[in-house]
Chain A
Amino acid sequence: MDFETTLTRLRGRIDPVLRCGGGLLWAFPLAGCSGVQSALDPAGGDAWDLYWLTIVMTVGATLIFVFVTALLLYAVFAPPERRAWLGTRRTIVYGGLAFPIVTLSLLLPYGLIVMRDVDAPQPGALQIEVIGEQYWWRVRYPAEGEQAEFSTANELVIPIGRPITVSVTAADVIHSFWIPNFGGKIDMIPGRINRFNFTAERPGIYRGICAEFCGAQHARMAFDVMALEPAEFDAWRRTQAQPAPEPAIPFLARGRDLFRSGGCGSCHVVRGTEANGQLGPDLTHVGSRRTIGAGQFPNNVGTLAGWIANVQQIKPGAKMPSYGSLTGEDLRAIAGYLESLK
């Protein structure tokens, strides 16, 4: 990479930051900060509360900083007779005592009220369980009424307008569950269950990440969040609870047989087949996911095949071996089979 491209790239990175920063400073609509993984683009009530707390603190602190700096310069450079008032008892009592006391007395209840309202449990919330594992997310939807329980991985699908409670824990080391558009981080601690409560207000695709260093592939541990209209969500949930469909054509049946003979089933569940391993993600409907590898690639036959043949190059240290010795034909069959598991 030559110097020019480095510079262009750097500018590409800095520009949005500057635009966000400018927006923050003036509290303009943050067009430059919208995104699937941005705390500056809130998509739920709690996230809005946190957003405004951030704006109030940032703008307030900036104003005070500029004002105090100006006074400091004035104290240094103004002629002695004009700056004398700065040293009077009155200035000190009002500026140095009364002002900070009043400001902090307002900020304290404001911060506490945000703390109380954000992440408050709601009755009738949809329960979801997420377990952090090196380096992916096990996601379980417990049974609810008619709806049977089921598991999936690396994606959180939620209805908008309904309160959600995500109970989180970890299987190995401490992870942290964070969907910036919906609120704060919550630690995932082995042997302990923490809860995160929120309500999604607008449909869309968002991105969550692991926010606590958990090992070499920590940075490749993300997940998709799909906020759907309630009817769409119900349809999704009904499909997910179904067992995997039978392969429609012989080529896919060959993929299923290779999946069985390759030992994939010792780590992966495909409901409706004898594959019932618990070590890795549930693959019953892996074809319906938007991404694979904990948010690493778009989901299609090509990336699935690449993943199976090359996991250890893509995510060194992940707890799945590379299947580099499969022939191209076999690889395509397995990948095709997985892709057909909608």
Chain B
Amino acid sequence: MTGRRTAQVLLALGGMFAWAVQFALIYGATSTLCGRGWADATLLAIGVVPFAILSTTLVTLVAAAILLIVSFREERRWRDQPSSTADAFLSQTGVLINGLSLIAILWNGVPAFILPACA
């Protein structure tokens, strides 16, 4: 029983972890790369800074999307058998949090397309 609850909570909060990881990595990478004077270096024909931001964003975005899909499944499962309010609550929360995290991750990646790196 406890094991299942832990998994449910982790699933519900998973998107937030993905978002936090993206946040830490893009801020860390940007300041480190800019601080070391790599503003103009390129990787696979795009600047290293946008590359770091976009690859981090993509990976965390996929993670958040998978979590969202799993949360949707869970939510549908518990909607059909309204026996436990805790299960229903956790699964609904999961959909909301993972969905919003997905959007937050997208928003975090937008500046890479618009602002010059290290300006």
Contact = CB atoms under 8 A, between A and B. Distances in A.
Contact of A101 (B103, B111, B114): B103
B110 A109 contact: yes
Contacts, number: 18
Contact-size category for A: under 10
A116 B119 CA distance: 9
A115 interface: yes
Interface string A151-179: 00000000000000000000000000000
B116 interface: yes
B115 interface: yes
B85 to A, nearest CB: 17
A105 B104 CA distance: 10
A76 interface: no
B114 A104 contact: no
A109 B115 CA distance: 10
Interface in B85-119: 103, 107, 110-111, 114-116, 119
Nearest to A119: B119
A112 B107 contact: no
A113 interface: yes
B114 A109 contact: yes
A104 B107 contact: yes
A108 B114 CA distance: 10
A295 B116 CA distance: 37
Contact-size category for B: under 10
A112 B103 contact: no
Contacts of B114: 109, 112-113, 116
Contact of A116 (B103, B107, B116): B116
B110 A116 contact: no
Interface in A86-106: 101, 104-105
Interface in A275-294: none
Contacts of A109: 110, 114
A112 B107 CA distance: 11
Nearest to B116: A116
Contact of A108 (B110, B116, B119): B110
B61 to A, nearest CB: 15
A115 B115 CA distance: 8
A113 B114 CA distance: 6
Nearest to A113: B114
Interface in A54-109: 101, 104-105, 108-109
B107 A105 contact: yes
Contacts of B107: 104-105, 108
A116 B115 CA distance: 6
Nearest to B115: A116
A109 B113 CA distance: 9
Contacts of B111: 112
A112 B119 CA distance: 13
A332 B116 CA distance: 57
B92 to A, nearest CB: 11
A103 to B, nearest CB: 12
A112 B110 contact: yes
Contacts of A112: 110-111, 114-115
Nearest to B111: A112
Interface in A222-262: none
Nearest to B107: A108
A113 B111 CA distance: 9
A115 B111 CA distance: 10
B60 to A, nearest CB: 18
Interface of A: 101, 104-105, 108-109, 112-113, 115-116
10 closest cross-chain pairs (CB), A and B: A112-B114, A116-B115, A112-B111, A108-B110, A116-B114, A108-B107, A101-B103, A113-B114, A112-B115, A109-B110
16 contacts: A101-B103, A104-B107, A105-B103, A105-B107, A108-B107, A109-B110, A109-B114, A112-B110, A112-B111, A112-B114, A113-B114, A115-B115, A116-B114, A116-B115, A116-B116, A116-B119
Given A105-B103, A112-B110, A116-B115, 14 more contacts: A101-B103, A104-B107, A105-B107, A108-B107, A108-B110, A109-B110, A109-B114, A112-B111, A112-B114, A112-B115, A113-B114, A115-B115, A116-B116, A116-B119
